[in-house]
């Protein structure tokens, strides 16, 4: 399923998934510049599970498994940009409730690596990452459930069938916020939209990866790591320009 068709070196469906993750992340963050666009929080719930699924898909590909060493370059880039992105993230989000999302993805990669290929080294890295996520839950964006989500996607990719229930449950848990559920019991359409899209995101992502796309999709390469802190800085600059223009 994750092997590109004959004659192709990239998985078009995986690249499309990455583009959708970047786009929905950007849409979600526009509300920090234009508060009236708060409704973009709803499609923004697709971004994190799509990033987690991309991690799982990369690990599940033959080039990333089959007894090969852990992808240290992949891990190193995530760690580097977790550090580089914290300051831009805090410039955009005035009262952040957590770290930026990259530390969660770092732990998610380590945990998923232990699930995808449970040899000695990967197993202990995964156990350590789970413990770190457990202790650091209050400071992690999407918490412990978010760190476990890539591993749930690995499980779903390796065992088609009802295994999709695990990423759906973890996606709901990662996005759990009591006021949404209180509002949902009152019939609030916004709250229900958030809950339903959190349930649908893993299913949509898994379905997309199974599609044999024939067209060319522009590849998402390492520039995407720069996009994360870069789009924070761009949105901060736009917000400051709007403030100056209005004064």
For the segment 144-201, what is each residue's pLDDT rounded down to a tens digit? 999 999 999 999 998 878 889 999 999 999 999 998 899 999 999 999 999 999 999 9
5 in a domain, yes or no? no
Which tokens hold the place of 86?
């914290």
Work out the pLDDT band at 64, boundaries 50, 70, 90: very low
Give residues with Cβ within 8 angstroms of 227, minimum separation 6.
22
Work out the pLDDT band at 123, boundaries 50, 70, 90: confident
Residue 139 has pLDDT above 70, yes or no: yes
> Look-up: residue for tokens 């958030």?
194
What average pLDDT does this structure show over 1-27? Answer: 79
206 in a domain, yes or no? yes
- In terms of residue numbers, what domain contains 45? 12-246
117 in a domain, yes or no? yes
Phi and psi angles of residue 149, each rounded to the nearest 5 degrees, phi first: -60, -45
d(C-alpha 149, C-alpha 48), whole Å: 9
6 in a domain, yes or no? no
What average pLDDT does this structure show over 26-36? Answer: 97
157 in a domain, yes or no? yes
Total domain count, the chain: 1
pLDDT > 70 fraction of the chain, expressed in percent and rounded? 92
User: How confident is the model at residue 3, as a pLDDT?
Assistant: 44
What average pLDDT does this structure show over 115-141? Answer: 88
> Look-up: residue for tokens 């923004």?
44
3 in a domain, yes or no? no
Select from 182, 174, 177, 123 the least CA-distant residue to 150.
174
Phi and psi angles of residue 110, each rounded to the nearest 5 degrees, phi first: -65, -45
Residue 67 or 133, more confident: 133
91 in a domain, yes or no? yes
What average pLDDT does this structure show over 107-125? Answer: 84
Q: Is the dihedral of CA 149, 210, 156, 6 positive or negative?
A: negative
């Amino acid at each position: 399923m994750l092997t590109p068709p004959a004659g192709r070196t990239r998985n078009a469906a995986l690249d499309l998934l990455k583009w959708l993750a970047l786009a929905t992340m950007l849409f979600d963050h526009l509300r920090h510049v234009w508060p009236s666009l708060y409704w973009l929080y709803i499609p923004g719930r697709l971004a994190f599970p799509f990033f987690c699924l991309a991690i799982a898909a990369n690990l599940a590909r033959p080039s990333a498994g089959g007894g090969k060493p852990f992808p240290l370059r992949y891990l190193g880039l995530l760690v580097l940009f977790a550090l580089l992105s914290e300051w831009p993230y805090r410039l955009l989000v005035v009262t952040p409730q957590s770290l930026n999302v990259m530390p969660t993805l770092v732990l998610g990669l380590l945990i998923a690596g232990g699930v995808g290929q449970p040899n000695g080294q990967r197993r202990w890295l995964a156990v350590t990452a789970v413990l770190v996520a457990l202790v650091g839950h209050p400071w992690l964006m999407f918490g412990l459930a978010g760190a476990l989500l890539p591993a749930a996607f690995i499980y779903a990719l390796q065992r088609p069938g009802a295994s999709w229930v695990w990423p759906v449950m973890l996606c709901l848990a990662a996005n759990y916020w009591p006021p949404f559920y209180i509002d949902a019991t009152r019939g609030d359409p916004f709250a229900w939209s958030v809950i339903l899209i959190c349930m649908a995101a893993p299913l949509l992502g898994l379905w997309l990866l199974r599609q044999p796309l024939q067209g060319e999709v522009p590849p998402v390469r390492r520039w995407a790591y720069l996009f994360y802190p870069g789009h924070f800085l761009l949105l901060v600059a736009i917000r400051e320009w709007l403030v100056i223009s209005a004064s």
